[in-house]
């Protein structure tokens, strides 16, 4: 399948991908839904108004209505778009007036948050990450707490401070305490990233209702990259007994394009073997891991070189997205369209695949060398952290674009 719009071979956004986002054309004040195709953005509101889509969900400035519409509608819109944009379909290809109305160069738009995010949950589903953190903060012999292999652990995060890629991040201030010293208040000195992938939920449920593991994908719209910025010194002092608070709530960055489950279907794969066997409500015969390569780079100011500090893969996650959603709702907690559920830091088994500086530098004991000759234990002011993700097979490349954020000094 090819489009009449030229898509370069290395592009993250061929016609097989068609991720959804909210964009603002330069010079316009009206944000609207779009899909990415090569170096272009296709205006879905314009196509809907031209009666080329089977929906009435794209006139607003978020994707929540489309998310609420459900899987049948998502699949229908996707197949309609693929037909409309294919090289042998003349409807849009030869309608120059509509093309000038509906096609924008990606360089000429600003991407915004794709949804009004009502709630944000952050899981802790990588066994390697949980083991590393347990070893660093507690005891290497009992790194995993007793519940970890029985349920997908998570905490409820802060939705109001989720920002889109490119937003600058102010180094947070907070209370910290060194060993044998009194607590102090000031800028965090151990600012970190966490490499994560999150999914947006689709149709909502009512309080008291649960989503079975078999029905979970009916409620999963698609994925974004997530950087769960973390202030390790604030976290160390505050996290007992109720978990992270100000160490995490100052900002979370996400990539702007939501890659759909339909686009990622060819990349479904088995996850890690689960032992002990999960309880029945978390059991499924179906593979629900996805083979998505992930990488993180730290780029100091005035540097053009990408310093890759981590290469990991979404398939390493011990608890999969269906188990996460089934568990989240098993007690009767409702979900709404546009909730964000992040995976937790995705660390692989080897050192080069750890998804946070905490693990990469083993709490600062083995610093990373950057190409400009400087070294990092954590993230400095002026550094830009960039995360990328791509699934690739048989010449088809389903990319996520990136989530990036530059660190500004505390004020």
Q: Find the binding residues for Ca ion in span 352-411 (CB under 5 A).
A: none
Shorter beta-carbon distance to Ca ion: residue 228 or 238: 228
Residues pairing with 3 in the sheet:
86
Among the listed ranges 115-123, 278-286, 308-316, 330-338, the one in contact with Ca ion (CB under 5 A) is 115-123
How near is the Cβ of 272 to Ca ion at its closest, in Å?
19
Q: Find the binding residues for Ca ion in span 152-181 (CB under 5 A).
A: none
Helical H segments across 86-172, by residue range: 90-93, 96-102, 127-137
Closest by CA to 339, choosing from 158, 199, 213, is 199
Number of residues forming the site for Ca ion (CB under 5 A): 3
Shorter beta-carbon distance to Ca ion: residue 74 or 229: 229
How near is the Cβ of 344 to Ca ion at its closest, in Å?
5
How near is the Cβ of 30 to Ca ion at its closest, in Å?
34
Cβ(198)–Cβ(224) below 8 Å: yes
CA 389 to chain centre: 9
Question: Would you give the binding string for Ca ion spanning residues 220-259, x where CB under 5 A is met?
Answer: --------x-------------------------------
Among the listed ranges 133-141, 188-196, 272-280, 286-294, the one in contact with Ca ion (CB under 5 A) is 188-196
CA distance 304 to 287: 40
Shorter beta-carbon distance to Ca ion: residue 23 or 200: 200
Q: How far is CA 69 from CA 85, 293, 329, 354, in A?
A: 22, 30, 20, 37
Strand, helix or coil at 239? coil
Cβ(52)–Cβ(46) below 8 Å: no
Catalytic annotation present for 129 = yes
Of 51, 129, 219, 316, the catalytic one is 129
Q: Should residue 122 be labelled a site residue for Ca ion when binding is judged by CB under 5 A?
A: yes
How near is the Cβ of 144 to Ca ion at its closest, in Å?
16
The beta strand positions in 182-306, using DSSP E, are 184-187, 191-192, 195-201, 220-227, 230-231, 252-254, 259-260, 268-269, 289-290, 293-299
Closest by CA to 197, choosing from 169, 220, 171, is 220
Sign of the alpha-carbon torsion through 149, 151, 152, 157: negative
How near is the Cβ of 123 to Ca ion at its closest, in Å?
8
Q: Which of 12, 45, 192, 194 binds Ca ion (CB under 5 A)?
A: 194
Shorter beta-carbon distance to Ca ion: residue 194 or 383: 194
Shorter beta-carbon distance to Ca ion: residue 48 or 194: 194
Residues that bind Ca ion (CB under 5 A): 122, 194, 228
Q: Which residues are catalytic?
A: 129
């Amino acid at each position: 399948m090819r489009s009449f719009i030229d898509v370069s071979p290395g592009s993250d956004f061929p016609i097989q991908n068609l991720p959804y986002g909210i964009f603002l054309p330069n010079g316009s004040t009206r944000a609207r839904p779009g899909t990415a195709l090569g170096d272009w953005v296709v205006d879905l509101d314009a196509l809907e108004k031209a009666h080329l889509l089977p929906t009435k969900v794209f006139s607003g400035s978020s994707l929540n209505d489309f998310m609420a519409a459900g899987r049948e509608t998502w699949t229908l819109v996707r197949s309609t778009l693929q037909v409309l944009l294919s090289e042998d379909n003349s409807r849009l290809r030869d309608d120059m007036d509509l093309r000038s109305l509906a096609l924008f160069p990606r360089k000429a738009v600003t991407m915004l948050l794709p949804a009004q995010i009502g709630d944000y949950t952050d899981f802790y589903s990588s066994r390697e990450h949980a083991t590393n953190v347990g070893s660093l903060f507690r005891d290497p012999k009992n790194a995993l707490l007793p519940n970890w292999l029985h349920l997908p652990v998570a905490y409820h995060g802060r939705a109001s401070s989720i920002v889109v890629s490119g937003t600058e991040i102010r180094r947070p201030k907070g209370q910290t305490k060194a060993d044998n010293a009194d607590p102090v208040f000031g800028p965090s000195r151990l600012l970190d990233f966490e490499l994560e992938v999150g999914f947006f939920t689709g149709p909502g449920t009512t309080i008291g209702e649960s989503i079975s593991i078999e029905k979970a994908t009916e409620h999963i719209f698609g994925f974004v990259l997530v950087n769960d910025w973390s202030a390790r010194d604030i976290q160390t002092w505050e996290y007992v007994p109720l978990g992270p608070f100000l160490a995490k709530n100052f900002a979370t960055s996400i990539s702007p394009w939501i890659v759909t489950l339909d686009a990622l279907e060819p990349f479904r794969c088995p996850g890690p073997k689960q032992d002990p066997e999960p309880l029945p409500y978390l059991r499924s015969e179906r593979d629900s891991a996805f083979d998505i390569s992930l990488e993180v780079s730290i780029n100091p100011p005035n540097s053009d070189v990408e310093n890759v500090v981590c290469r990991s893969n979404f398939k390493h996650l011990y608890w999969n997205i269906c188990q996460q959603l089934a568990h989240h709702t098993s007690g009767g907690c409702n979900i709404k369209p546009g909730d964000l559920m992040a995976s937790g830091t995705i660390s692989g088994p080897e050192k080069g695949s750890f998804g946070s500086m905490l693990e990469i530098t083993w709490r600062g004991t083995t610093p990373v060398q950057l190409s400009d000759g400087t070294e990092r234990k954590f993230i400095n002011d002026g550094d830009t952290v960039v995360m990328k993700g791509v699934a690739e097979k048989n010449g088809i490349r389903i990319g996520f674009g990136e989530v990036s954020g530059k660190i500004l000094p505390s004020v």
